[in-house]
Amino acid sequence: MSQDTKDLVKFFVLTGAGLFLLLSIILAASGFFGPLFNQVDYNNFNSSPMHQNAVSSEVNNECLQLAEATDSVTKNALEHKIYNDTSTVDVNNLSAPQDVKDCIANARNFVLNNNK
């Protein structure tokens, strides 16, 4: 091999080793510092009036759609959506009419009883 070829191989080997070292440092740092940034307390948001009103409004619309739904696939999808939407809030604290709260209770019971 000529000197130019040896220098080129040495360059690629050192560049590869340097990139490997740099990526290792980045991965180690993100593994160490990453969990520190994920220590968010979501209870403050879930119990905030803004979130409660948004969930109440969304579920109100879904309950209206559920009342008008005629096929079982649509009803099943809406009941699962209501269940998912209300999983982050305390339903007793929602500022929703009683019929919407009944709709939520029925949807939750349906999802819980039919997923066994």
Q: How far apart are CA 40 and CA 43, in angstroms?
A: 9
Residues 32, 46 within the same domain: no
Q: Which domain holds residue 28?
A: 3-38
Collapsed DSSP state (helix, strand, coil) of residue 39: coil
Residues 33, 49 within the same domain: no
Residues 57, 100 within the same domain: yes
pLDDT at 39: 66
Residues 52, 33 within the same domain: no
pLDDT at 14: 94
Find the farthest-apart pair of alpha carbons in the chain and give their distance in angstroms, rounded: 86
Residues 34, 91 within the same domain: no
Tokens of 41: 């307390």
Residues 66, 94 within the same domain: yes
Residues 106, 53 within the same domain: yes
pLDDT at 89: 86
Residues 26, 65 within the same domain: no
Cβ neighbours, 10 Å, residue 63: 23
Cβ(102)–Cβ(61) under 8 Å?
no
Q: pLDDT tens track of the chain, all 116 residues?
A: 788 888 889 999 999 999 999 999 998 888 887 777 776 666 777 788 888 888 999 999 999 999 999 999 999 999 999 999 998 888 888 888 899 999 999 999 999 888 65
Residues 22, 56 within the same domain: no
Residues 71, 107 within the same domain: yes
Residues 58, 77 within the same domain: yes
Residues 25, 74 within the same domain: no
- In sequence order, what are the residues at sequence separation of 6 or more whose Cβ sits closer than 8 angstroms to the Cβ of residue 12? none
Domain count, the chain: 2
Sign of CA dihedral 53, 58, 62, 65: positive
* Helical residues (DSSP H) of 36-91, grouped into ranges: 42-46, 49-68, 72-85
